Amino acid sequence: MTRLIRLPFAATILLAAMPQSAQVSAQLSAQSIDRPAEESSADSDDIFITATRATTATKTDTAIVDVPQAISVITADQIAARGATGVQEALRYTPGVRTEPNGADYRFDYVTGRGGFDAQSYIDGMRQPTSFYTSRIEAYNLDRIEVLRGPSSVLYGQGAAGGIVNSITKRPQFETGGEIAVQYGSFDRKQVQLDLTGPLDRAGTVAARLVGVVRDADNQNDFGKDDRIFIAPSLRYRPDDRTDIVLEGLYQRDRAASISTFLPLGATLLAPPGRKLRFGTYLGEPGLNAYNSEQYSISLLGTHRLSDALTFTSAVRYNHSDTYNANVQGDFYTGAVDPFLDPDHRLYPRVRSDAKARLTVFTTDNNLRADFTTGAFTHKLLFGIDYQRSTLKSAFLDAAADPIDIYAPVYGNIPEGSFAPAHYGVDTQLGFYAQDQINYAGRIILALGVRHDRATSSVDDDRQVDKATSFRAGLIVKLGETISPYVSYSESFQPTIGLNYYGKRFQPQRGRQYEAGVKWQPDAGTLVALSAFDILGTNRLETDPLNGNNQIQQGEVKSRGFEIEASRTVARNVTVTASYSHVAAKLGRSADPLAVGLPISAVPRDQASAWGEKSFALSDDMLVRIGAGVRYVGPSTEAVIFNDIVTSGAVERLTTPGFTVADALVAFDKGRWSLAVNATNLFDNEYYASCSVRSACGAGYRRNVIGTLGYRF
């Protein structure tokens, strides 16, 4: 087993079946190669599951205890062990974020943070468009996921106050390794996955990697489909310890169907006895039921140490995607509490809603880091420029469809329609940023950052330009060798595209956060972090109470709360992680006085989770690992103000109940073979992720059991 333990690749299913010490050895080996030589300090005698370093918070390799902001790292083995099939599932045990707020969705990953603010998606530090034009990230291709919570515009530019989800892809390694695995699971899931890596020359300066996935699967909805073809080849050139260049390619083809789980409120959460719809009921048209996406990208990532003091880092990506969505769905947007067309509450109105889009994105981020000392102070001074340009050509088809009897659906009535003329949009962002991490005697760390952005958005002949300057500051004062209390301040901005009724452009939405916390790391296998935050989001769009056709920006969102996250490795074969978060998010200011103090929709006040694993030997060549976890998501409330003639000023509240689900893992490793069985929502608890006063509920994910048989070579 010694040779296998030293394999540097981080194939997720392989890690799921390996003994605990072997998983971590493989993971840290891969990470240490990606880290500058002077910063790599992994010791083979002190290897634990707890991730202790991250790059997302500072764009430099920094110990988590030296980051004055809450950050979590989800490693490849954790993704596999917890049965995550996508990024949003991988974050289920992370505090401060809400995953799957709309329920089961097979199109894209949607995550909110710290009070319902969007959490922007990044891959290798470069922003991904967040919309239905961008399909789900392939989890099997990830080395880890880093989650930075709260406003983060200083280093990353425009984005909401929820934070950043940065997915780090696998890189070629200079030791030969690989695996091939097959999967079979719930909803007739059949998948083959491959991960190969190793050097291409005897000198060990060029390495390659190939990650591939082919999947044929249904999903929990009637007529559902979740098929994928994915291939990611990459090359790495490392002629010496000063230069490291990676060229990555990606091709992904998705064919999904029955992607939405929204069902009428009166037939789900508020259904009378005997009238609750079965989970998985499909109220669309099987003959018009598709979410098809095809994308390809090429990325160039490079680091060059110009001297002992100067390091240049550059990242460039070109991404192109074509997306087509075709669906007949319930008319959820009528605004009516009771949308049914008959007194027996059976006939449900529907609309045909098709969309097609072609999206092209060019992104680059370049920075120069200077490491130097002035007296008793050491500095990591970073200057950077990033730029993004995206072009989008989109067209939409909307048509009325025949209603459907939700309890006895009859299919085959697809309405005719034609696409409206396509729109062409161009968005750009140019940002300049600077940051200094100042360390005094290893005891006091001061992080300062500033950024200026210029963002433009054009749709056809209409063009909007927004400019913003953002700041961040954080202070850590270490008490002894293990305790690091901190305070910080950070900002965010996000352009709001469009004009109000009177032709005036909207101002960018802004966010600011005050955070205080403490991080405790008594040893290499333990990390406990406690943080408290206060976020204010401004310039929220609201309907003008004096003109229903106008929108104004008087809205504020106030979000306050605290989070606890802990990870512990015991005796190298037992790991435990736990988290808890509490958040109170409400409208702090509004054009309608009745709205002040109302809760933000789909934001539970309390979330908690715990996961534990243990590995042990059954014989000299047979190892087994078992894992179990529990997740709790508390109730959330939506409040809507109705201002029609009958119910003027009435506030209607609806609470979606909380839910608790369990996950489990059993994994075996014998020689080069591995077998892992993952189960999420083990007891098949039926729950709703969120429900709306205006007639719809998003059904949660049902039980999903996946078996993986892998062979390492």
CATH number of residue 493's parent domain: 2.40.170.20
Band (pLDDT 50/70/90 cuts) for residue 21 is very low
- How much is the pLDDT for 122? 94
Closest-CA residue to 63 (of 42, 84, 90, 86): 42
Band (pLDDT 50/70/90 cuts) for residue 175 is very high
- How much is the pLDDT for 5? 28
- How much is the pLDDT for 336? 64
State how far the Cα of 669 lies from the Cα of 181, in Å rounded to an integer. Answer: 13
- List, for residues 296-336, the tens digit of each pLDDT value: 999 999 999 999 999 999 999 999 999 999 999 888 766 66
- What phi and psi, each to the nearest 5 degrees, are found at residue 21? -65, -35
What sign does the CA torsion over 490, 494, 495, 498 have? negative
Band (pLDDT 50/70/90 cuts) for residue 695 is confident
State how far the Cα of 436 lies from the Cα of 170, in Å rounded to an integer. Answer: 29
pLDDT at 295 over 80: yes
Q: Do the beta carbons of residue 6 and residue 23 sit within 8 Å? A: no
- How much is the pLDDT for 549? 62
Domain residues for the domain of 130 are 2-712
In DSSP terms, 149 is beta-bridged to: 163
Summarize the confidence of residues 142-161 as an average pLDDT.
93
Band (pLDDT 50/70/90 cuts) for residue 548 is low
Q: Do the beta carbons of residue 508 and residue 526 sit within 8 Å? A: no
Summarize the confidence of residues 375-398 as an average pLDDT.
94
Closest-CA residue to 69 (of 637, 489, 380): 489
Summarize the confidence of residues 410-420 as an average pLDDT.
91
Q: Which residue spans within 11-162 are E strands per DSSP?
A: 53-54, 62-63, 71-75, 97-99, 111-113, 117-118, 120-123, 126-127, 142-149
pLDDT at 555 over 60: yes
Band (pLDDT 50/70/90 cuts) for residue 368 is very high
- How much is the pLDDT for 570? 85
Closest-CA residue to 314 (of 301, 305, 329): 301
> Cβ neighbours of residue 41 under 8 Å, at least 6 residues apart?
none
Size (the chain), residues: 713
The total number of structural domains in the chain stands at: 1
∠ Cα 523 524 529 (to 5°): 75
Q: Do the beta carbons of residue 255 and residue 241 sit within 8 Å? A: no
pTM attached to this predicted model: 0.90
Half-sphere exposure of 76 (CA within 13 A, CB side): 28
- How much is the pLDDT for 544? 66
- How much is the pLDDT for 13? 30
State how far the Cα of 667 lies from the Cα of 707, in Å rounded to an integer. Answer: 9
Band (pLDDT 50/70/90 cuts) for residue 508 is confident
Cα radius of gyration (the chain): 25
State how far the Cα of 83 lies from the Cα of 705, in Å rounded to an integer. Answer: 8
pLDDT at 542 over 80: no
Summarize the confidence of residues 117-146 as an average pLDDT.
88
- How much is the pLDDT for 686? 95
In the block, which residue shows the tokens 């034009």?
133
In DSSP terms, 316 is beta-bridged to: 300, 364
- What phi and psi, each to the nearest 5 degrees, are found at residue 143? -85, -35
Band (pLDDT 50/70/90 cuts) for residue 42 is very low
Summarize the confidence of residues 378-387 as an average pLDDT.
97
Closest-CA residue to 74 (of 36, 46, 118, 109): 109
- How much is the pLDDT for 28? 31
State how far the Cα of 679 lies from the Cα of 661, in Å rounded to an integer. Answer: 11
Answer with the residue of higher pLDDT: 417 or 47.
417
pLDDT at 31 over 50: no
pLDDT at 1 over 80: no
Q: Which of 51-60, 179-188, 203-212 has the lowest mean pLDDT?
A: 51-60
- How much is the pLDDT for 10? 31
- How much is the pLDDT for 423? 83
Tokens representing residue 570 in the block:
């015991």
Band (pLDDT 50/70/90 cuts) for residue 352 is very high
- Calculate the alpha carbon distances from 617 to 19, 99, 270, 621, 630 in Å: 9, 35, 50, 8, 25
Band (pLDDT 50/70/90 cuts) for residue 641 is confident
User: What percent of the chain is predicted at pLDDT more than 90?
Assistant: 71
Summarize the confidence of residues 676-698 as an average pLDDT.
92
H or E element that contains 130:
none
Q: Do the beta carbons of residue 629 and residue 608 sit within 8 Å? A: no
Tokens representing residue 389 in the block:
């340009």
Summarize the confidence of residues 237-250 as an average pLDDT.
97
